[in-house]
Amino acid sequence: MVRSPPPIRDSPSSPIAAVDASEVSDNNLQPFFVLHKARRKSERKSSASGRTKRNVDMPPSFPNPSVQGENEAIYERLRLEAFDLTWSKIDSAVKEVLMEINMALFEEILQWVFESFSTIKSMSPSEIMMPYPVATGATCKRIPTAMVLTKNIEFVDDLLTFQDLKGYMQSNGCHATYLSALDLSIKHGIGICLKSLCRQLGLEDSDAVDVPLIASWYCEPENYHKPIVVIIDGMERCNGAVLADFIKLLSEWVMKIPIIFIMGVTTTSDAPRKLLPSTVLHNLQPFMFTMESPRRRMDSLIEAVLLRSCSRFFIGHKVAVFLRNHFIKHDGTITSFLKVLKIACVKHFTGEPLSFFCSDMLPEDCEAFLSAKSESLTEDLQSYAFDLQSCQSEKPAGSNNLAQGLLELKRLQNSWTAVVLCLFEVGKLSKIQLLDIFCEAIDPSLCNERDVGQQLLSPLTPSHKVDAKTFSVKGSLIPQVIQKVRELPSESLCHLLSQWSLHVEEMIEIGEQVRDLHSKINLPQNGHISTGKPVDSIDRPLASSVMGESTPSLNDEVAILLVCMVRNFLVPIESVPFHEIVCFKDVAALKSFLIGDPRGVMQDDLLKSDGYLQSTSCGRRESDLSSSTHDTAILYNLAQEHDDLINLHDWYQSFKIKILIPRTKSKRKTQHLRSSPASKKGKFTSLENEATTQARFCRAVTELQITGLVRMPSKRRPDFLQRISFGL
């Protein structure tokens, strides 16, 4: 929902050109570096042109710009265009889907707003302007409040939803204002809330804002007779005291100014009770609304983005599983899902030389165009295409044509999508997520297990029920789904078939079978089953009695049809030739982007600081510590030799030895050269050395403490530091 920033964090200043590009960007995801890294002079130039380097497989400074170089540039541009096109399609599809999901809720809220507006007594302007409270009848001043349960503990997804809600309310005859949780913080107090309220209502800016000002604004004829909706996005994040004050303040005026709250609640409807005192709760007249759960949203997103052919960009099985796990285990937000998707998209279009075919496959009549384009490919790319792994392992008979291969891919993919959607229609009934079905259907090993369906074709017996259960334990959903089809009552079976017939429109022979089955089921009920409700209720006893005999056979027929579909058409994309062109499979790249591991990287960096710092001792052995290493790194390396508790004195002594050794060596050398060293002076310098060493030691320890790697001595054990290490 929230458009993530372009995921390529291209930093021209990143100096480590020795490491490859993906690692650079990996590092850049970390919140901070412990150490400054030295620049390597020779690399500056190439790092300045880092972007092109990553996008093109050839080195950017191609020795002599030949024809090949020009072609490369053209393809580069094509890939970029293809990316732009694909992503804009995905993006707009996502927006559309989310808006569609939210719209039902918005309409419901709007209806409620106007209903509660009508219950708030509206008074004449002269009454409203009175500075004292209304005396008559108002035994309790309650503000109508919509508690919108966002169903997700992470709130990122919902920030924009509430903004959209504001816009929707405004366009439907309300005064809408939006307060973020930050407005209601203890730091700002209640004045800021009112000020923000006034500003959004369009009052002239004044330094002292109070409610009578709003009242007088409301009395102006163009503002009158409209509810004032105050949207607060995340109520749990607000400061309880300020929110309580705010509610109390507005509740004194609720009989005069029709204020209506809409509050986002991320957890349960209990949340306000924990946040607000009971005296304030009595001033709220709450109603609960629920947003679509993140899982449902995710399903619709997957359906729109990855299944419906809004773009010809696909993900491989491993990527899908990674996405699913990330969603369930780490970050169940649409935002992060879109971020991942975008990263995958970028990676694919920059990494895959032929990826520009993605956008070319979009139009219906792309055949001629495709073949023309594939003809005109350079030799390199042609050979590259036919060297693709998928092409070699499973050489399709007689199709050495890239365009034909792509068209075949498109056709297979369309039918795959249709079957997955059919499966999902059943899955909906037994609460199976589309994401799960998707992951299973895209599994390339599915191809080899085609005979799985064979077992399920035989009629339903108790022994087969047990079979189905063993399947479910193993975790394959498709057999579960097929089993479900057999157990469906006729009513939902009919509904299912009508849904299927929509999905399989493009597959002619399957479509006919579905229609046949559908008409069979419809016959006894004169086609009323899915439309007329009253007729339905009358017909039901009749229908069930008729169906009682024919149901098993019909259910079985449908199940057989589904198995056929699964066997014939559920071809995972990764087993289709040329799939690499449109399918992104590189999980490792995604992982490195998404899962930042600041502590791990920090500790790693400290251990290998020499490599970054380009110190003079670069040529030495890896593990050897030298005095030229950065102090913090020395200390950290030394700490590795200790237990969890580090004796401060020991640590200091070993640190001192480490940094003094080479100096004394060199001193000795100089002493040999010079004939008479002044002993007094030597003493002085050693004292000075002691002081600087201590200072350096202190600074290094502090740095380690700031980065959270050690903890300062406690009162109980003043001589010991505690080492904190996780994840290594």
Partner 1 sequence: MAKEEGILLSPGRKTRSSSFSLSSSLPQNHRTFFSHTHLELLHGHCHSEESISLDTLTSSLPGRKPQIHEILRLIGPLNSPMLPLLLYGGPSTGKTISVLQTFRYLNRPFVYAGCRTCYCPRILFNSVLRQLLIREKNAGKGSSGARRCEKPSEFIDLLRISLIQVVNALRERNLKLGSEESDRGNMIYLIFDNVELLRLWDKSSTIVPLLLRLSEILKIPELGIIYISSSSPDAYYLCTGSIEPIPVYFPDYSLEDLHGIFMRNQSNPNLYSSFLSVVLKPFYRVTRRVDELSVAFHPLFEKYCDPLSDQCLVLDEAMKRRLFDNLQPHLASSLNDVFWVPSWASHQLKQEGEHRQKRFWKSIRKEASNELDFHMSMSVKYLLLSAFIAARNPATLDASLFDSSGGSNNPKRKRNLQTSLDKKDNMAEEILLKGPGSFPLERLLAIFQCITSVAESMVEDDHFENDFAIENENFQLTSDVLLQLSALCNANFLCKSGSCPLEGSTRYRCTIDEEMAVKVARSINFPLSSYLYRR
Query: Residue 298 or 613: which CB sits closer to partner 1?
Result: 298
Element (H, E) at 82: helix 67-119
Query: Residue 340 or 402: which CB sits closer to partner 1?
Result: 340
Structure tokens at 417: 């999508």
Of 91, 101, 81, 86, nearest in space to 3 by CA: 91
- 396 within 8 A of 579, measured Cβ to Cβ: no
CB of 694 to partner 1, least distance (A): 21
Structure tokens at 9: 């964090």
Please state whether beta strands 314-315 and 284-290 pair in parallel, antiparallel, or not at all (unpaired).
unpaired
Backbone angles phi, psi at 177, to 5 degrees: -130, 155
Cα 579 to Cα 354: distance, rounded to the nearest angstrom:
11
CB of 266 to partner 1, least distance (A): 5
Q: CA 6 → CA 28, 137, 342, 390, 585, distances in Å?
A: 13, 58, 8, 31, 20
CB of 195 to partner 1, least distance (A): 12
Query: Residue 194 or 517: which CB sits closer to partner 1?
Result: 194
Burial readout 324-361 (b: 16 or more C-beta within 10 A, e: otherwise): bebbeeeebbbbbbbbbbbbbbbbbbbbbbbbbbbbbb
Query: Residue 252 or 650: which CB sits closer to partner 1?
Result: 252
Query: Residue 11 or 325: which CB sits closer to partner 1?
Result: 325
CB of 587 to partner 1, least distance (A): 11
Backbone angles phi, psi at 220, to 5 degrees: -65, 140
CB of 141 to partner 1, least distance (A): 8
Structure tokens at 363: 């139009």
Count the residues in the chain: 728
Query: Residue 323 or 559: which CB sits closer to partner 1?
Result: 323
Cα within 13 Å of Cα(275), Cβ side: 22
CB of 272 to partner 1, least distance (A): 6
Query: Residue 234 or 353: which CB sits closer to partner 1?
Result: 234
Distance between first and last Cα of the chain? 35
Query: Residue 695 or 712: which CB sits closer to partner 1?
Result: 712
Of 311, 308, 306, nearest in space to 82 by CA: 311
3-class DSSP state for residue 697?
A: helix
CB of 267 to partner 1, least distance (A): 5
CB of 234 to partner 1, least distance (A): 7
Backbone angles phi, psi at 478, to 5 degrees: -60, -45
Query: Residue 25 or 150: which CB sits closer to partner 1?
Result: 150
CB of 332 to partner 1, least distance (A): 4
CB of 721 to partner 1, least distance (A): 13
Cα within 13 Å of Cα(723), Cβ side: 19
Query: Residue 324 or 585: which CB sits closer to partner 1?
Result: 324
